[in-house]
Structure 1
Amino acid sequence: MGAEIVQFVAQAGPFLTAALGAYGAGVLTRTESAAVEATANVGRHMLQAVWRRRGEEGRAALEAAVQDAADAPEDEDAAAALRQQVKRALREDEELLRELAGLLPARSGPVTVTASGERTIAAQAITTAVTGDNPTIQP
């Protein structure tokens, strides 16, 4: 089951990161928002499911890892510590792995994204994209 957990956490990583970016440290207590992209909501569902299934000590460790990762989104060590907390929970609860895997969107195979030309943007999913000179972005 170890390899399955590692593979799952690798797939879940972008969802967890998106959830932290959208909700910050409040990810464990926030409710779903239609204004937040689906990726962030999937990550939030995952983290909340892990939190609900942990004991008091496990919840405290997960909360600390979420806080650290939210406070320093560019810190790979903080992100790794959060993933480690998820792995620990998955190793201790086989049913949790099935529950979280069910939250991942179905994959239909490899995706190829190509961009060509000046100021071209290409991605499988884009949250925000700005091109042009002197753009103004308002929250």
Structure 2
Amino acid sequence: MSVDAVQLAQDLTPYATTAITAYGAAVLARVESDAADATVSFGQRILRRLTGRDTPDTEATAEQEALANAVTELAATPDDADLAAVLRVQIRRLLAAHPDIAADIAGWTRPAAPTTVTITTSGERSPAVQTNYGTIHTGDSTP
């Protein structure tokens, strides 16, 4: 199975970036928990596979080391678009150099694509929440 490394890198980078933003430099070492967001968990899985941390008995390749360095740099400054682009390039290089890894990851089922949520509130003491499963009390006049 031939995999388009450029397209796959483009598709995987948002998941990897989301995981890096959520966990910073610890993203490569952090253990998945059941409560972890599916997108972050998938991003962690991608990064573990790409960096070879899913098979600790093997020596990391130069491409895997370069990718791990890109992860560390982006974790230090997660809002830096240039470092996110470097991450995408490193993912693309690694996938092109290791078609077996590319084919493996290409076969994985992906969760919904990462999205950005914007929540706006207005008015005195207005709560701002993304999801609420109960009552929100703001004080004073609450019966």
By the TM > 0.5 criterion, same fold?
Answer: yes
Q: Which residue of 2 aligns with 1:62?
A: 67
Distance 1:126 1:36 in 2: 16
Tell me if the contact between 1:12 and 1:104 (Cα under 8 Å) persists in the aligned partners.
no
> What are the equivalent positions in structure 2 for 1:1-139 lying under 5 Å apart?
4-52=4-52, 55-105=60-110, 130-133=119-122, 134-135=126-127
* Shift in alpha-carbon separation, 1:25–1:95, aligned structure 2, 3 A: same
1:97 corresponds to which letter in structure 2?
A: A
Distance 1:87 1:101 in 2: 13
* Shift in alpha-carbon separation, 1:7–1:129, aligned structure 2, 3 A: same
Q: How many residue pairs are counted as aligned between the two chains?
A: 121
* Shift in alpha-carbon separation, 1:3–1:75, aligned structure 2, 3 A: farther
Normalised by the length of structure 1, the TM-score is 0.71
Q: Please report how far the alpha carbon of residue 135 of structure 1 lies from its aligned counterpart in structure 2 after TM superposition.
A: 2.9
2:121 corresponds to which letter in structure 1?
A: G
Q: Looking at CA atoms only, which structure, 1 or 2, has the larger radius of gyration? A: 2
Q: Please report how far the alpha carbon of residue 129 of structure 1 lies from its aligned counterpart in structure 2 after TM superposition.
A: 5.7
Residue aligned with 1:86, SS:
helix
Q: Please report how far the alpha carbon of residue 126 of structure 1 lies from its aligned counterpart in structure 2 after TM superposition.
A: 5.9
Of all paired residues, the percent bearing the same amino acid is 33
Q: Please report how far the alpha carbon of residue 35 of structure 1 lies from its aligned counterpart in structure 2 after TM superposition.
A: 2.4
CA-based RMSD: 3.0
In structure 2, the gaps of 5 or more residues are 130-143
Residue aligned with 1:96, SS:
helix
Normalised by the length of structure 2, the TM-score is 0.69
In structure 1, the gaps of 5 or more residues are 108-123
2:106 corresponds to which letter in structure 1?
A: A
* Shift in alpha-carbon separation, 1:6–1:125, aligned structure 2, 3 A: closer
Q: Relative contact order (C-alpha < 8 Å, sep 6+): which is higher?
A: 2
